[in-house]
Structure 1
């Protein structure tokens, strides 16, 4: 069964329906919040130590990489399921699967890389 351009367009629309809200949420979280007016009280900044910062960074990086890798894994499954024997779609699915595996590999290696970074900057 060959895929029609209409079917490909439907898949792209479906991906955009998922990607657009996710991008909106990401943008909203990335923008800084409005600053509050100065109350006149002394402000003390609480800075974490380097090991705490590295641990927090490790958790964030692992989470982000795992989420992106999972997205690529889902896309690979969708591409593979909708390929219908089309070699170009199967190749696209294999590429997405490879990217997912690379992402999972980086998520696993993130603690090691951040430990090296911590050793370089001292802490």
Structure 2
């Protein structure tokens, strides 16, 4: 309990310390960007996250399969992980391809 209280107090102190030292910055305005560019960046970002999660699932499924030791339940679980990871990779790749194709069709 003491460790929890100490960690909570330290975390609270760190968060509050960012609020105390605020300085105003006179920076340039952000460049105006079209909605198209924002959407493309968001979709590419999400596809990248999906691909990363899919690769981690494939790696996790491979580790489970290797360490299964012949147990059918663990092998079936590993196959499900591998299948889900490969489907995730295919979906993320398809998302990026679809976005690029649609953009190439509508750009002059």
Quick check: TM above 0.5?
yes
Q: Structure 1 length as normaliser, TM-score? A: 0.56
Query: Match of 1:51, SS?
Result: helix
Query: Match of 2:23, SS?
Result: coil
Residue in 1 that maps onto 2:23:
37
Q: Does 1:103 align with 2:88?
A: yes
Residue in 2 that maps onto 1:49:
34
Structure 1 distance, partners of 2:49, 2:70, is 33
Q: 33, 51, 64: which one pairs with 1:66?
A: 51
Query: Match of 1:48, SS?
Result: coil
Q: Does the Cα contact within 8 Å between 1:66 and 1:103 map onto a contact in 2?
A: yes
Structure 1 distance, partners of 2:94, 2:42, is 13
Larger Rg: 2
CA RMSD of superposed structures (Å): 2.8
Counting matched residue pairs gives 84
Structure 2 distance, partners of 1:115, 1:64, is 21
Unaligned runs of 5+ in 1: 1-33, 119-123
Unaligned runs of 5+ in 2: 1-17, 104-108
Q: Structure 2 length as normaliser, TM-score? A: 0.62
Q: Does the Cα contact within 8 Å between 1:72 and 1:100 map onto a contact in 2?
A: yes
Residue in 2 that maps onto 1:90:
75
Q: Does the Cα contact within 8 Å between 2:50 and 2:89 map onto a contact in 1?
A: yes
